[in-house]
Each structure stands twice: as structure tokens, then as C-alpha cells.
Amino acid sequence: MIPQGWSLGRIGNIEIKINISLAFIAFFVTYSLAARLLPGVAPGANPLLYWMVGLFSSFVFIGSILWHELAHSLVAMRYGIPVVQIVLYLFGGVAQIARDPERPVQEFWIAIAGPISSVILAICFGGLSRLGGLAGAACAWLALVNLTLALFNLLPGFPLDGGRVLRAALWQIGGSYRQATRQASRVGQGLAALFALGGIWIMLRGETFNGIWFLLIAAFVFSAASASYRAARGAALPLHTPVRRVMRFNVPLVEPNWPLAILAWRYLDHARDQAFPVMVGSDLVGMVTAAEVDRIPRLEWGKVRVEQTMLPRERLCLVNADDDLQSALEALEAKGMNHAPVFEAGRLVGMLNRRDIVYRT
């Protein structure tokens, strides 16, 4: 469901792309402001000035969409979830994160951050609208459109932000990520049907363009919700399933005297969401993840060793391959961990990732 686009560059580690369909939004906003709204609100100005203000406002509006998506991204990164890219396109924007959140509270705050950021922009532009004249009129429109963007995204239909908030609530209540995804996706499909009916009704009233726009939104929401439903439709594993069913075998083993640069080059740069057991011979002495390594400036990675940053064994959550997923999840929660070394007959046999439990139960 992620559209393609041309790269504009990066903000931090996030690649920013624009899709060709964004040109339609830029033209539509510019035309609507220059030919309709601005002459009516601030008559008597030079027609060229209307178009210049309209064009500038369209760029600011696109910047507002980017601001909205950056808010999602920053919260996701705060939770240690990598953000691959942000793509701006016909229906707004999408922040592509490397993986879904692992806890309902993370899902909630990542989703709600976008609408909150849009409301903040609406308040700021609302204050600037007091300037009056063309600038004030453009700011008033930007305030209204950002408020509309926030309210629209809060509609409880997956994959809109409100649908993700709904999934977070259902996930928290029911305890199943997959079930919550299916339920929120069904609500998204229902919302798409309402949009389609609204579009048909608007077209029957003679507003063909607005009706077609509603139908396009309905098609997008229904398609995205249906794809999410299909992805979560498979049978979920019961929580009494043994850990060995979801654990990862043959995980790379790390030596405590390795420089962090070697760890990053061999493994971490390719699997930042994984944890690596630190071994001395056949004995587990600790575990290292990207969270520990990132606390050290990258220029120091050649001098700092794994043993200086790793989590020592006594702080880890250790589970057995025959433990059930419910007890393993409770043990991870008690330790505040997302990863656990897995043992069988006193020997390390693999790693358990909290996300593997969440996504499969």
C-alpha cells in the first residue's frame, strides 16, 4: 500500500519522497485559493498576487502534511521503531515504519501524534489569521484545513489514525493484536462504504467533483483496510503454545571483546530490531541490542567493546524452550524486556522476541 515517489532528501535518517499525484493537490489548492477564496475575502488585489499567495499556501499545506507524518515518525523512533521513509501523495502522506508497535500504548501514541500535531498547526495558523488581508485569509484557510486533516484522520476506520487508535484500544482490551487488527479493519471497510454512499449522494446533488473525491477516498480506505484484514486473517497461535514454536534458532553469537564497530558491521546494521547473546565459550554472559549500542557515539564504536555496553546476564529474562508463550510474555513484562535468551537442558538454543509473540497470538 506504500506509493512510490521521488526522493527529496532526508530529515535525519528518514527519507522524504513525493509522488507525482501530489502535483494535483498543489494545483487544486492553488487554483481554489487564487480563483475563488482569496478574491472573495480580500478583493481588489493584483490577480498575480492571488496566484502567488495561493501557490505559496499550497506548499505550506504540503509542509503541514509532512509535519503530520513527522510527528508519527518521531514518536515511533522514540519507541525504537525505525522509520524507513515518508511519502507524500494524493491522499496526504504515509510514514512507513519498519515494523508495527509491540504494545497497545505504543500504537496509541504513534497514531495520535499526527492529529495532535495538526491541531497545533491549526491553532498557530488561527493566530496568524489575525494579520488580515491576503496573508490573514491564507492563514485562516490553513488553520481550517489542518483542523479538518486532524478530524478526518481521527475517524475510527483503519488504516486512518483513528482506526489505529481503535486497534490500540481493542488490543488493550482483548489482548490480541491480530484480533484487534481484524476488528479495526472491518470498521475501516464500513467507513469506506459510508464514504462511497456519501460520494454517490453528493454526485446526485450535482457536485460531481466532490462526489468523485469521496469515492476515491472510499476506494483507498476500503483497499487498505481489506489488505490489513487479509494479513491478520490467519489462525493465531494460542498462548499455551511452547516457546519453541516462535523462537529463533541459530542466532549469531557475539564475543564480549568485540569492538562495537565489528558488531554493527557484521549484524546490527542489518538487523537493528534483534538482540544478540554475548558468549564466553558455552556460557551466556550478557545480551546486546541496538538500544545499548546507540548510547555510544558512533565515532567511538571502534574503541568501545561489547562487554562495556551489554546487558549482563543477571538483568536478563531467561526462558525455556518448553515454556508456554503466556508465561514467557509475563516474564518479559516483569523484566521490562523485549528479548529473552532461550535455554534447553541448560544450553542456549536461540532467542525469543516479544514481537514474535505479539504478532502470532
Q: Which of 15-24, 60-69, 75-84 has the highest mean pLDDT?
A: 60-69
Residue appearing with cell numbers 508495527: 100
Side chain identity, residue 204: L
Burial class (CB in 10 A: 0-12, 13-18, 19+), 159: buried
Banded model confidence at residue 214, pLDDT cuts 50, 70, 90 = confident
Read off the pTM.
Answer: 0.79
Rounded average pLDDT over 93-116: 90
Q: Give the model's pLDDT for residue 73.
A: 95
- For the chain, percent of residues with pLDDT exceeding 90: 53
- Which CATH superfamily hosts domain 243-360? CBS-domain (3.10.580.10)
Question: Residues 286-296: pLDDT tens digits?
Answer: 999 988 998 89
Sign of the Cα torsion 357, 358, 359, 360 reads positive
The alpha carbon dihedral of 186, 190, 191, 195 has a sign of: positive
pLDDT band at 99 (very low <50, low <70, confident <90, very high): confident
Could you state, in order of their start, the residue ranges of all structural domains in the chain?
6-154, 172-236, 243-360
Count of CA atoms in the C-beta half-sphere (13 A) of 65 = 22
